[in-house]
Amino acid sequence: MKILLSVFLFAICLLLISWRPGDANLAKGPKGKKTYDKVCSPCHSADAKGIPSFSPALSGSKIVLGPGNKLIRVLLKGSAELKNYPNRNNKNEMPAQVDLKDRRIANLLTYIRNNFGNKAPAITADEVKLERTKL
């Protein structure tokens, strides 16, 4: 019985030693990637180049790279916000992503602003929260 117990304790120790929170995060990839892959990539494609005659590219998009508050509004309101932009000729609708949590939207937008050849400042959850109060 004692042997069983020490084998058990030894196994627990091994588990604790091998468990590293950092590794788990690395395996998941950068923050925001999971949401992009799941929610956005079916419509904007995995490389964010968009789908011809269906959706615009997020790679190199002026809206993605522009002021953070405006980009947040596009996410929260979808096409209802995009209609305010000049020269929109897209027949398809971008659904509002209002159900995503502030932090998730912040991570997602920071991700698309710094991948796919894009480079723009990060978006914080507080900025998303503030923009939500103005809808």
* Contact set with ligand HEC (CB under 6 A): 39-40, 42-44, 55-56, 58, 61, 63-64, 74-75, 79, 82, 88, 90, 92-95, 97, 108, 112
Rounded least distance, CB 85 to ligand HEC, Å = 7
Rounded least distance, CB 115 to ligand HEC, Å = 11
Rounded least distance, CB 124 to ligand HEC, Å = 16
The encoded tokens of residue 15 equal 């588990």
